[in-house]
Copies of this chain bind each other. A is one copy, B any other.
């Protein structure tokens, strides 16, 4: 069971009911945060998911509306009693940005592990149970999109174990993922596990123009969270100049990518009522939802 929540769905500046961009995924007692705009801490506090179990914080890019919440959040994570290292992932420039921002949150009780991601190719990093995929997108500064994949554990297959004459007292250890050497023979977990099972895939993409690479990257995602900076088609020139998307462009991407569900986020502060554009967007991609702060969903394996 995976919990996903959109902590903030605003772009540019925080509003009373629309904090800045941030999304969190919780699985198996661990969390991964993507983007951390102003208000992220407040939403997390309201959700009551805690702070200590955040394993990794990922950034799409370094505009303030995606990252200004980090110094405060790191201090709060520190106050939650965390001492284990925390991984921060982001595109080129990460080291300099984190060095600059943590000047106001020094002496953290845990180590920061910084992972600077090149945006040219698709990269996969594993953080605990989360497989973090990234690709470069098309914004005014280096920016990456994320796909967080959670693999489903393979079942134990007693027939396979029997057929290979694996002693029964080793089954449990192998099933738990241990490699065992017994009587000079090597036994690996792979030998007792059944077929691969479909995992879950959540894609998150802001700020960017739609790109062809994104279609493959989000392909068949269970949930696709995508920016919808502007509602009306008349903003297309602005969207192209500022490297953002219209609702309709996000919906077309969702359709081409054959995703299960689309959540729109990163609304322009000028976009007071996203609801006005929902019907038109659903005409392109039916299963579209308008993101709201702390909109959450439980995803289950099939």
One digit per residue, 1 when the CB lies within 8 angstroms of any chain B CB and 0 when it does not, for chain A 40-74 equals 01100110000000000000001111011101100
Interface residues of A (CB under 8 A from B): 12-16, 20, 38-39, 41-42, 45-46, 62-65, 67-69, 71-72, 75-76, 79, 96-97, 99-101, 103-105
Among A67, A68, A69, A97, the most chain B Cβ lie within 10 Å of the Cβ of: A68
Contacts of A67 in B (CB 8 A): 104
Q: Indicate if the CB atoms of B64 and A71 lie closer than 8 Å.
A: yes
Query: What residues of B have a CB within 8 angstroms of the CB of A63 in the complex?
Result: 104
- A64 and B13 in contact (CB under 8 A), knowing A39-B38, A41-B38? no
A68 to B69, CA, bound (A): 7
**Among the interface residues A14, A63, A65, A99, which one has the most CB atoms of the partner chain B within 10 A?**
A14
Q: Is the CB of A13 within 8 A of B101?
A: no
Kindly list chain B residues whose C-beta atoms are within 8 Å of the C-beta of A15. 42, 45
Contacts of A101 in B (CB 8 A): 100-101, 103-104
A3 CB, min distance to chain B CBs, angstroms: 20
A25–B96 alpha-carbon span in the complex (Å): 35
Residues of B within 8 A of A69 (CB): 38, 68
Complex CA distance for A173 and B73, rounded to whole angstroms: 55
CB distance from A190 to the nearest CB of B (A): 45
Q: In the complex the two chains form, what is the Cα distance from A96 to B75 in whole Å?
A: 20
Q: Contacts A13-B45, A16-B42 hold; do A64 and B75 have CB atoms under 8 A apart?
A: yes
Is A64's CB under 8 angstroms from B14's CB? no
Contact of A38 among B16, B38, B65, B99 (CB under 8 A): B38
Q: Given A38-B38, A38-B39, A39-B38, A68 and B104 touching (CB < 8 A)? A: yes
For the complex of A and B, 7 pairs with smallest distance between CB atoms:
A100-B100, A100-B103, A64-B71, A64-B104, A64-B72, A68-B72, A13-B76
